[in-house]
Amino acid sequence: MRTICFRSPVMLLGIAVILALPSAVSAQPKLSADNIDQVIKAMTLEEKATLCVGGGRAVTTGGVSTGITDLVRGAAGSTRKIERLGIPATVLADGPAGLRIDPTREGTSDTFYATAFPIGTLLASSWDLSLVEETTAAIGNEALEYGVDVLLAPGQNIHRNPLNGRNYEYFSEDPLLSGKMAAAYVRGVQSNGVGTSIKHFALNNQETNRNENDALVGERALREIYLKNFEITVKESSPWTVMSSYNKLNGEYTQQSTDLLTGFLRDEWGFDGMVMTDWGNKDDTPAAVRAGNDLMEPGNAVEIERIIAAVRDGSLPEADLDRNVRRILEYIVKTPSFKGYRHSDKPDLKAHASIARRAAGESIVLLRNEGGTLPIRANGQKVALYGESIVDFVAGGTGSGTVNKAYNVDMVEALTNAGFKLDPSIVGFYDEYVRFNDAVLALSGTQRTYRYGISKFDDPAVPRSAIDLHAQNNDLAVIVLGRISGEGSDRNMDNDFNLTEVERQLVSDVHAAFHALGKKVIVVLNIGGVIETNSWKRMADAIVLPWLPGQEGANAVADVITGKVNPSGKLPMSFPIDFMDHPSSANFPYNQVKTNTPFGTARPAGSNEKDVDYTRYEEGIWVGYRYFETKGTELSYPFGYGLSYTSFSYGSPELKATPDGGFVARITVKNTGSVAGKEVVQVYVNAPSGGLEKPSVELKAFGKTRLLQPGESQVLTFEVSNYDLASFDESASQWVTAAGTYTVYFASNVRDLREKASFRLKNPGVVKVHSPVWGHSTPAPSF
Ligand code: BGC
């Protein structure tokens, strides 16, 4: 045993302090799920402010390092650690078509690729909640295994207008479909014990000047269309977090709106998670704290200082800060980082690739199939394959929704794998074209960027004489029309919604040359948003719509073309004849500045440009099919449309009113064709007016059968509550389910209403809600 000899009283004192220290340190609480109150009490003001501000902008290759390098490279953001209190940093990464992190890291030859899954719009085209849940469970597993705590997804803004550059990330023009899809997405990801951040809350419906744009929306449209999907998702799936948007809503930044972040989200819908900003904050950080925006992302030191100063000068009650800190701590204790999960960095990418392929195949929409053109057995048939996109197939959109995938199957590979023989002269032509254009960029030291904006080469013209030759040498033609779009800019009407002159000519020449010889023409639409189809669709025998289907999507297209998969996807939005048919087109920047105003680049002082500085949602609730069906507008393809290689009959529905004033309905669906297939049944309701103008029909439920063999049937059941049937009465600040007769349609698409039933509601249902007080400068609009 060692003897300690005390030489002086000073030394004695020193030792007494050292001996006392362990008990002082242990008196400091270390965060656990049951001592959050104690931890908040122990926190200094500086620590509280620090926790509410993210750890800085993500490090991207060549970028500046600001704090989260040591966590997961290429993740979008983090929360800061406070070691003293046992609070670890946590990691936030995009979303939504797969995890976005850097695929390589210095100092290791290991790779960190993620799987590029189908985009949100394609997942929604499946109308299959269990398929979405299964797919996103795989996305969540990649987040978990790469050390990410929250996936910044799903994106669920409503497809108000076809030209929003980010529609590809979002689900639908309909709030019920969007809300249910997002809920399934959240359940899938969160089943891994990692979180989601449903975004962008709310009204981020255009990219043009998205940081400053003021969305001027009436309360009925807001509640019935733009918030309804978030409400459904919050109530049905309890997402860990919500991301507020960049834009303003009725005069106020959404990240500073108490009405939105507290009134609607928490008080009305019962959300009990954390709210974070989108990746950039406004000057008035204390206003965001007060409003209930708990976490500022990506976060910088100035924001911490602003919070501290505001508490010190009394303009920000410390209780508000404490409330937000509590929500952040409640989030942190749920995370894998807090629980010390040892991630493998080795998710099963092979298994996930096959999930991605199946999800794409189950969701692809068959728009046209004249005379049973498809499926086609490959059998070594010779194919003339056209379009820049055949070698430059687009798996997903640009911006934060990009996924760094290990590979991307293109149409050349996919059709070859499936057993077709591709005309090598045509493939060679497109291959050289894309390589040449890449080389031109390389010459000036640049390369195609997939960050913001559109980085696809225009289709080159193909001489008619060559097409005539191809028609002689091949058995059929496949044309791939491609579009890329994404974060930071909107699409335009002239050569993005509408086909370019070169594309138009290609379709028409291929149609003329191949049809003259009795050979078929198939068009594949590799697009992120709706395009014009009416003027040229009759020139194609079949049209296949895979949207942007992920890294295995081209294989899924081949699966549908050859009949390995019987298509069962249906459109989650309407395809109009003309862009201007959408009422929102009157208030959408389709031929102005298309880009977002970058941070730090202010709009000219006092600028007040329509559809850029502000956008009036004058169409109110008349979005998508709600408008088209009520007006009887001619469409190219209606909402909910999609063909199958088999046919289905619907039996007589049974419908029972429920005690709460809703209904339960059952219908039998039978496969009456000759191959196995799945059918999506859509339940639309026509409601009595009760003094309000209402759409002729609204989607109130949907279901998809399992794979039914020929002759096999399945009963689908739908439950709709009284509240689900309500419309919002602005004048009385209440949801009202009007008394009267409700007609319930069972439909294959919104224009193919197969069966109907009805029920009477004796007494109206009423749910009173709070009246929002909008932005200081702008009165609530009345449309
Ligand atoms: C996007 C978000 C994304 C975030 C982090 C923002 O610019 O709007 O959707 O999650 O960046 O990358």
Instruction: State the distance from the centre of ligand 1 to the C-alpha of 298, rounded, in angstroms.
Output: 9
Average pLDDT over every residue of 628-648: 98
Peptide bond into 653 cis (omega under 30): no
Of 66-75, 222-231, 249-258, 430-439, least confident by mean pLDDT is 66-75
Q: What's the pTM value of the predicted model, to 2 decimals?
A: 0.95
Of 485-489, 734-738, 767-771, least confident by mean pLDDT is 485-489
Of 437-441, 464-468, 626-630, 754-758, least confident by mean pLDDT is 437-441
Mutate to test the pocket of ligand 1, among 101, 278, 403, 451 (most ligand atoms within 8 A of CB): 278
Measured from the Cβ of residue 524, the count of other Cβ atoms closer than 10 Å reads 29
DSSP symbols for 752-783: EEEEEEEEEESS-EEEE-------SS-PPP--
Cα separation, 601 vs 234, whole angstroms: 35
pLDDT recorded at residue 26: 45
Residue 666 in tokens: 């059952």
Instruction: State the distance from the centre of ligand 1 to the C-alpha of 400, rounded, in angstroms.
Output: 5
Ligand 1 atom nearest the C-alpha of 169 is 9
pLDDT digits (tens, 9 = 90+) for 280-325: 989 999 999 999 999 999 999 999 999 999 999 999 999 999 999 9
Q: Tell which wins on pLDDT, 612 or 179.
A: 179
pLDDT digits (tens, 9 = 90+) for 493-522: 988 999 999 999 999 999 999 999 999 999
Cα separation, 554 vs 557, whole angstroms: 5
Check residue 308 and report its DSSP letter: H
Could you tell me if 263 and 733 are in contact, meaning their C-beta atoms sit under 8 angstroms apart?
A: no
- 8 pLDDT band, cuts 50/70/90, is very low
- Mean of the per-residue pLDDT values of the chain: 93
Instruction: State the distance from the centre of ligand 1 to the C-alpha of 94, rounded, in angstroms.
Output: 7
Average pLDDT over every residue of 350-368: 98
Query: One of 214, 278, 459, 490 is an active-site residue; which one?
Result: 278
Mutate to test the pocket of ligand 1, among 400, 452, 595 (most ligand atoms within 8 A of CB): 400
Measured from the Cβ of residue 416, the count of other Cβ atoms closer than 10 Å reads 17
- Closest C-alpha residue for ligand 1 atom 9: 400
For residue 40, pLDDT over 70 is answered with yes
pLDDT recorded at residue 452: 57
Nearby residues of 755 by Cβ (< 8 Å), 6 or more positions away: 650, 651, 652, 653, 667, 745, 746
For residue 752, pLDDT over 80 is answered with yes
Ligand 1 atom nearest the C-alpha of 58 is 12
Share of residues in the chain with pLDDT > 90 (%): 87
The CB-side HSE value for 118 (13 A sphere, CA atoms) comes to 36
Instruction: State the distance from the centre of ligand 1 to the C-alpha of 278, rounded, in angstroms.
Output: 6
Instruction: State the distance from the centre of ligand 1 to the C-alpha of 199, rounded, in angstroms.
Output: 9
Query: For this structure, is 490 an active site residue?
Result: no
Could you tell me if 199 and 178 are in contact, meaning their C-beta atoms sit under 8 angstroms apart?
A: no
- Closest C-alpha residue for ligand 1 atom 11: 279
pLDDT recorded at residue 1: 36
- 593 pLDDT band, cuts 50/70/90, is low
Looking only at the bridges linking them, the beta strands covering 648-650 and 663-671 are antiparallel
Could you tell me if 196 and 234 are in contact, meaning their C-beta atoms sit under 8 angstroms apart?
A: no
Could you tell me if 493 and 161 are in contact, meaning their C-beta atoms sit under 8 angstroms apart?
A: no
Could you tell me if 240 and 195 are in contact, meaning their C-beta atoms sit under 8 angstroms apart?
A: yes
Helix and strand totals (H; E) in the chain = 20, 29
pLDDT digits (tens, 9 = 90+) for 202-230: 999 999 999 999 999 999 999 999 999 99
For residue 66, pLDDT over 80 is answered with no
pLDDT recorded at residue 456: 86
Of 669-673, 700-704, 730-734, least confident by mean pLDDT is 730-734
Helix axis angle, 553-562 to 349-363, nearest 10° = 50
For residue 108, pLDDT over 60 is answered with yes
Maximum Cα–Cα distance for the chain, whole Å?
109
pLDDT recorded at residue 63: 36
pLDDT recorded at residue 777: 67
Radius of gyration, CA atoms only, the chain: 28
pLDDT recorded at residue 606: 85
Q: Tell which wins on pLDDT, 98 or 16.
A: 98
CA distances from 319 to 41, 45, 81, 310, 316 (A): 12, 11, 22, 12, 8
Mutate to test the pocket of ligand 1, among 94, 151, 197 (most ligand atoms within 8 A of CB): 94
pLDDT recorded at residue 450: 60
Residue type, 43: M
Could you tell me if 203 and 226 are in contact, meaning their C-beta atoms sit under 8 angstroms apart?
A: yes
For residue 9, pLDDT over 50 is answered with no
Residue 689 in tokens: 């007016």
Pocket of ligand 1 (CB under 6 A): 76, 94-95, 152, 199, 278-279, 400
User: By C-alpha distance, which of 513, 564, 569, 519 is closest to 544?
Assistant: 569
SS3 call for 716: strand
- 58 pLDDT band, cuts 50/70/90, is low
For residue 591, pLDDT over 90 is answered with no
SS3 call for 369: strand
Share of residues in the chain with pLDDT > 70 (%): 92
For residue 741, pLDDT over 90 is answered with yes
- Closest C-alpha residue for ligand 1 atom 4: 279
